[in-house]
Structure 1
């Protein structure tokens, strides 16, 4: 009778539920021959290394079962009977090749589907072997196919393509699981593999045309995640088909339909529903037909989808012509009055369509999920990309980086979104890789959660399990993504920027001078000098100013003194431009920018006060901050400020600073109330700061004066008892 295996094999991560008997059977003399059942130890040093590699798999038991099945399949393929422990070339290779050992066991422990594929094709593990020069297998999404030779000459081209696809996917997964590639590289490789598969399917479809049928010019345009080079392991691949002219439509449609069928048999469904009129419309249209549709009928979400359009297969030149022809329409879409709200409404609709029981576990469509990041990024692209061509990129990560570089998104916010995106996509990849099935929902079963946490690299720490660490990170990322989504997608400045004509967003000297003249500035040359001083150079401050000024110019133009407003704005910016909060407040915090523009161009008095106390513009962030303070509150605050100083000069200076701040509050509230710049109170239909008439303003000023005099009197008495 052998000694119990509990604890001996458990240290390698194998399940203890059956006392380790199952693992011992698979590893023992009648299995892989790696474990001495009597001594309860590995048979030799190579076996120890192999067991250690198994222990590092996301699921050591799954990796062991699949390795055993694979070795058995190899032995059967060599003519051995079941349970024959003949020498295994695979085990020999695993002992000799640490890279193969690491890659293969990582795949076997993370993906039951790829394990099944290898068992069905027991010689294909060799694609993960280290090359003679010591390099890892290439995992760039290439197919090991000669499209013009082996594929089209085969009597079973679909089967050949399926095998080639799985081999390429196997290499990508192995590199991904062993740290050979980052997230962006993995998504790019999966997208490249999709392109290659579409191209191969196109060749198969064309090759099946009847003799004498000419090859039709057909462009396959990648959309969605594939178009953005951010494809995941299992996803529909969104495409749009474009024919050159009407004469090609019939044959091109047959080719497109067959391409869809081939890809469905090989890898994943091809979804052409993003085409004009969706599934109700023709599968293939000419470039001219597409252009006519987008000019007349397309809705905002259709232009949003075009942000990720990219030539993928077929006639790549025709695909590029199609994208170039539609680009001007894409970058004018945000100028539609309903465009910004359309994007917001679409995001809300997506959330509403998620089953309630899955809402909190949905990492793609749910709150704090991938769609929150994508919609925020794409709306900012549509609005600001009209004037900034650096934002005209397809992928979410490149677009987010461009938005940060251009000053449209703060650095900290951008980094938080990028971390959230990488985390959520990593979770999505591991979930999908396990069974090669489409899923975006975090499981609830304890065993599945333990596997997921392990697959993501989480380990137990004192006082916290791996699952608890994963959950904590997930909640933190989702919370931050949701907060930033609301901050960016509902940024009030977006509507204002969207209303500015595209030419007004490009502040070149000529364009700026022309726009200043149209807006009614009395001294366009002087105004232009202010603009050049504010926006010149490559600093982040200048970049953010270039974002803000097109909107502010429109606000200045609607006020009595636009030239004065711009001058005052420059003076305030000169004083505060280097502070970390000033431009961030104008860009991100509600209607501050528009309110500031209205105040600076409507009241010299208020502008002078702000110039002396520029930090007071924080008052513009919240309407409640513009409501005048009660007389009792003022008197108490002024007295407390004076009492903190023994020196009457310092006490007087403190009171004067408070008085100046209150005068700014009243002046801004007065200007904005008269200009309609404050929202009405829901219960009474009045502004938050009730200063719409001179009587209310006078009363508020009198209260400030009373508090100032009372504090001054107290200071004088303290100095001269």
Structure 2
């Protein structure tokens, strides 16, 4: 630590000493008696940590105790820490006293650890081990305290490892993940935990037996509260459970068998990364080690796993995407050359070689780094540079977090705070600290790129731009020569193209960018022009790509991405030339350029399960209380995957039905996570709504999708027709400290979901939401109870609302409530109906829709054989269009499902038509015709949406198809003609 204290810190310290001395005579005497060394250490501690200084001010006894007992100068073992805590817990008689003891214990040791760390009395390894030991002790002691008391009230859980074996008492096993698992916890870190237990069974020794899982879920909930809940003493440790199987939607506690089955069947690459760090931190240590041993084959493959390379490149892309999206260049953990990249380097070798090299099956990063050098996987110089960078970055991280006991890795925004950071890190000024930081981050970035570089990548033919384009962009030719060059390379309107390029080349923005950015643009533009010149329509390609370039002139890191990945540039030009929608989206959100780094993913979208996993993974790294970041992540997820859809459509690799499936899966994945987010935000504040007096809802809520979402037929730009239903108990309230009525809770839950979906952020809006199909429409409650929904459908709903119900299905929420909704839907739709009255209602509604939404001149009254190119046909709303086919299927379900319940199995038109054919209710030829026509219409709608064109086409394009639909309509509804029926 440097000797000279900066003036602003010196002034602050003088105030703090004076305030401390004024507490009472003992504190004044204590300060006066400190020796010079301890006084200097006190200045360093208080100067670097407002939290430590404030803690001493509030609790001077802590500081006196630590100085007098010598523990500021000692290394404490884990056993000593845990024994000390256990002794204090002997007097705790309630969960409130447990929580208070844990928090006060943490304050004591947090002050000790910060003092030793900032004064460099402990090195990095000792500090992180000390913090991890403190967390381990708090988790284990609290778990043991709570387990004992739960056993007294609920009985002791028993289970047997085999059917013939004798049941034995069961304890919970707690796995620490991430930095806790590695024994590398930082000063203000969350603790990532997974709860599990050895065997299924039930409790014994109480009046009523409980299933083991229920017992351990209660234990887990109480443990989280004991550690995480904020009290007058603050918190002990923030607990993050999102790394457990199935994430937030998974059970809080699983048996060993369930854990093994999950990782065997569904474990993902990112979960392999996570499990590298897994360690048993509390509970039944022996059984926990048995579990980790059984999971080892999932983490470490038996043979050299070069298949992990692609997954590693994907993770690299995710890191860069997160950094650029959230503007985290100043984040020393997630930003370029940060801690995460060092962890990535080390873990990549563990995944690839760990199955063969047991020395790599370690949790400590620095231990593995030494092994990588010894085994020859990394050069000595690389390992030394990475080790030095890791020490520097982690010490910087601790200095940042010591200030306010806050989890942050972002460099200070103010000069004063930056000066303090530099001083704590032992530098005379912030300039020398910045130079050291840049030096280490550059080393990390270099080694990071070396690890993930594809050795088989071949240079593109476009990697070196032609001299012509370089000369053009550098303005070394006469204007007429530049125009001639453009014409020679296939531009049909070279004057306009030249004018666009001049506007960019001579723009004020380009003249004012930094030198580095200007150099990047000079390097990039010739490559772009050469690529554009190879396009089928160079004029259109240039016209659509230039807005993207203009959008990133001040963020030229995106251009580096394209310079270093010429294939990405080729495909960007190709897709923008084919789709103005793609061009517009990328120009509006340049972060989407990251999607072009992996062309396999770009043209081959994931399946539904992988889609859900990807979103869950992206959200798992965002704090649950950070709604803004969660909303941005959801929007990026949607934008990226709709871009993939558009790319696959341009490439012709995705049929129509798959397009709709994919768009629907995107929406479903988003809705499921939004429900989790909204539920967590509200339950933290109000507790859980109650289904009965002793049974909380979990969640007792479903999101219904109607229309295209319900029918699995979403198109680009479709809105979401939603209805919310809950099953909360009547006249009951939530079980939290701030209890509110169930109905109000679920109303706020619905409002929060709509807010997350429809609010416009920097990344735009997720979806337009239409709630008008709920009972009583806009005048009805936002969220209906299940009994109220059933009563409305039975007694008040109009025929058109039952038509809408044909396409309704549960998208997200409680499985039990979903099953009850399906019963109500089947009962409602399966009621016998008067067919004459049904026909009249259907025709009346169709007339209203067409009059309001259809094309006037071709909607009715004009014979199809008189339509020509001067008339328009609205693919959806006009006679013989999509809505007519939808009404045919809806009429058929309402008319015949009473006798043919198989019609109720599906909510999409294609499969309903298949059921009509299978049941012999419509001729097979007609059903096939309707399916083919319906898909043809929708295919054109999708194409036109991505071309930013309207839904109307020339009326002479689909005359034959419209005639078929009209004929089937007329025959089914027994009217003279559809046009006559709907016009009169």
TM-score of Structure 1 vs Structure 2, range by shorter chain: 0.5 to 0.7
Kindly state the Cα deviation for residue 418 of structure 1 after the two structures are TM-superposed.
Answer: 0.8
Question: Is residue 2:147 matched to residue 1:184?
Answer: no
**Structure 1 residues 174, 338: closer, same or farther in 2, change over 3 A?**
same
Measured in 2, the distance between the counterparts of 1:493 and 1:226 equals: 37
The equivalent of 1:223 in structure 2 is: 177
SS in 2 for 1:239: strand
Kindly state the Cα deviation for residue 299 of structure 1 after the two structures are TM-superposed.
Answer: 0.7
**Structure 1 residues 281, 127: closer, same or farther in 2, change over 3 A?**
same
- Structure 2 gaps, min length 5: 158-169, 202-211, 230-234, 458-984
Question: Is residue 2:426 matched to residue 1:457?
Answer: yes
Match of 2:443 among 452, 472, 480: 480
Question: Is residue 2:56 matched to residue 1:92?
Answer: no
The equivalent of 2:452 in structure 1 is: 489
Kindly state the Cα deviation for residue 306 of structure 1 after the two structures are TM-superposed.
Answer: 0.8
Kindly state the Cα deviation for residue 337 of structure 1 after the two structures are TM-superposed.
Answer: 7.6
SS in 2 for 1:366: coil
Kept in 2: contact 1:420–1:477 (CA 8 A): yes
Question: 5 Å matches for 1:600-639?
Answer: none
The equivalent of 1:250 in structure 2 is: 214
Kept in 2: contact 1:334–1:382 (CA 8 A): no
Kindly state the Cα deviation for residue 268 of structure 1 after the two structures are TM-superposed.
Answer: 2.3
Match of 2:394 among 425, 448, 454: 425
The equivalent of 1:136 in structure 2 is: 73
Question: Is residue 2:156 matched to residue 1:206?
Answer: no
Match of 1:277 among 236, 246, 270: 246
The equivalent of 1:307 in structure 2 is: 276
**Structure 1 residues 74, 489: closer, same or farther in 2, change over 3 A?**
farther
**Structure 1 residues 407, 337: closer, same or farther in 2, change over 3 A?**
closer
Kindly state the Cα deviation for residue 492 of structure 1 after the two structures are TM-superposed.
Answer: 3.7
SS in 2 for 1:123: helix
**Structure 1 residues 152, 358: closer, same or farther in 2, change over 3 A?**
farther
Post-superposition Cα deviations, 1:269-291, rounded to whole Å, max 9, x if no partner, equal 11121111111111111111111
Kindly state the Cα deviation for residue 481 of structure 1 after the two structures are TM-superposed.
Answer: 0.4
Kept in 2: contact 1:195–1:313 (CA 8 A): yes
**Structure 1 residues 378, 66: closer, same or farther in 2, change over 3 A?**
same
**Structure 1 residues 74, 487: closer, same or farther in 2, change over 3 A?**
farther
Kindly state the Cα deviation for residue 131 of structure 1 after the two structures are TM-superposed.
Answer: 4.7
The equivalent of 2:192 in structure 1 is: 238
Kept in 1: contact 2:6–2:423 (CA 8 A): no
Kept in 1: contact 2:182–2:277 (CA 8 A): yes
Match of 1:264 among 218, 228, 238: 228
Match of 1:62 among 2, 8, 12: 12
Across the aligned residues of Structure 1 and Structure 2, the Cα RMSD in angstroms comes to: 2.6
The equivalent of 2:919 in structure 1 is: none
Question: 5 Å matches for 1:73-92?
Answer: 73-75=23-25, 88-92=28-32
Kindly state the Cα deviation for residue 214 of structure 1 after the two structures are TM-superposed.
Answer: 1.7
Kindly state the Cα deviation for residue 411 of structure 1 after the two structures are TM-superposed.
Answer: 0.3
Kept in 2: contact 1:124–1:167 (CA 8 A): yes
Question: Is residue 2:439 matched to residue 1:439?
Answer: no
The equivalent of 2:431 in structure 1 is: 468
Measured in 2, the distance between the counterparts of 1:354 and 1:268 equals: 26
Measured in 2, the distance between the counterparts of 1:110 and 1:355 equals: 30
SS in 2 for 1:360: coil
**Structure 1 residues 147, 418: closer, same or farther in 2, change over 3 A?**
closer
Measured in 2, the distance between the counterparts of 1:219 and 1:328 equals: 20
Measured in 1, the distance between the counterparts of 2:417 and 2:336 equals: 22
Measured in 2, the distance between the counterparts of 1:238 and 1:72 equals: 42
Kindly state the Cα deviation for residue 93 of structure 1 after the two structures are TM-superposed.
Answer: 3.0
Kindly state the Cα deviation for residue 317 of structure 1 after the two structures are TM-superposed.
Answer: 1.1
Kept in 2: contact 1:103–1:128 (CA 8 A): no
Question: Is residue 2:20 matched to residue 1:106?
Answer: no
Match of 1:381 among 344, 350, 363: 350
Kept in 2: contact 1:333–1:382 (CA 8 A): no
Measured in 1, the distance between the counterparts of 2:100 and 2:127 equals: 25
Measured in 2, the distance between the counterparts of 1:397 and 1:274 equals: 23
Measured in 2, the distance between the counterparts of 1:468 and 1:323 equals: 47
Measured in 1, the distance between the counterparts of 2:288 and 2:49 equals: 36
Kept in 1: contact 2:72–2:112 (CA 8 A): no
Kindly state the Cα deviation for residue 323 of structure 1 after the two structures are TM-superposed.
Answer: 0.8
Kindly state the Cα deviation for residue 477 of structure 1 after the two structures are TM-superposed.
Answer: 1.1
SS in 2 for 1:73: coil
Kept in 2: contact 1:145–1:164 (CA 8 A): no
Question: Is residue 2:299 matched to residue 1:330?
Answer: yes
Kindly state the Cα deviation for residue 347 of structure 1 after the two structures are TM-superposed.
Answer: 2.8
The equivalent of 2:136 in structure 1 is: 195
- Structure 1 gaps, min length 5: 1-9, 16-58, 79-86, 460-465, 495-721
Measured in 2, the distance between the counterparts of 1:457 and 1:302 equals: 38
Kindly state the Cα deviation for residue 435 of structure 1 after the two structures are TM-superposed.
Answer: 0.6
SS in 1 for 2:195: strand
**Structure 1 residues 147, 188: closer, same or farther in 2, change over 3 A?**
closer
The equivalent of 2:587 in structure 1 is: none
SS in 1 for 2:433: helix
**Structure 1 residues 121, 409: closer, same or farther in 2, change over 3 A?**
same
**Structure 1 residues 408, 131: closer, same or farther in 2, change over 3 A?**
same
The equivalent of 2:332 in structure 1 is: 363
Question: Is residue 2:315 matched to residue 1:346?
Answer: yes
Kindly state the Cα deviation for residue 351 of structure 1 after the two structures are TM-superposed.
Answer: 2.6
The equivalent of 2:109 in structure 1 is: 168
Greater relative contact order, per chain length (Cα 8 Å cut-off, separation 6+): 1
Q: TM-score, normalised by structure 2?
A: 0.41
Post-superposition Cα deviations, 1:614-643, rounded to whole Å, max 9, x if no partner, equal xxxxxxxxxxxxxxxxxxxxxxxxxxxxxx
**Structure 1 residues 11, 422: closer, same or farther in 2, change over 3 A?**
closer
Kindly state the Cα deviation for residue 206 of structure 1 after the two structures are TM-superposed.
Answer: 2.0
**Structure 1 residues 250, 90: closer, same or farther in 2, change over 3 A?**
same
Post-superposition Cα deviations, 1:243-297, rounded to whole Å, max 9, x if no partner, equal 1112221111111111111111432211121111111111111111111111111
Measured in 1, the distance between the counterparts of 2:326 and 2:191 equals: 27
Kept in 2: contact 1:62–1:112 (CA 8 A): no
Measured in 2, the distance between the counterparts of 1:324 and 1:116 equals: 45
Kept in 1: contact 2:302–2:355 (CA 8 A): no
Measured in 2, the distance between the counterparts of 1:403 and 1:214 equals: 46
Match of 1:394 among 337, 345, 363: 363
SS in 1 for 2:193: strand
Measured in 1, the distance between the counterparts of 2:302 and 2:328 equals: 31
Kept in 2: contact 1:138–1:171 (CA 8 A): no
Post-superposition Cα deviations, 1:391-412, rounded to whole Å, max 9, x if no partner, equal 1100111111111111001100
Kindly state the Cα deviation for residue 100 of structure 1 after the two structures are TM-superposed.
Answer: 3.3
Residue-pair matches, total: 423
Kept in 2: contact 1:128–1:136 (CA 8 A): no
SS in 2 for 1:313: strand
Measured in 2, the distance between the counterparts of 1:439 and 1:12 equals: 24
SS in 1 for 2:216: helix
**Structure 1 residues 91, 249: closer, same or farther in 2, change over 3 A?**
same
Q: TM-score, normalised by structure 1?
A: 0.55
Kept in 2: contact 1:218–1:243 (CA 8 A): yes
The equivalent of 1:534 in structure 2 is: none
Measured in 2, the distance between the counterparts of 1:236 and 1:143 equals: 20
Question: Is residue 2:375 matched to residue 1:406?
Answer: yes
Kept in 1: contact 2:98–2:226 (CA 8 A): no
SS in 2 for 1:354: helix
**Structure 1 residues 353, 264: closer, same or farther in 2, change over 3 A?**
same
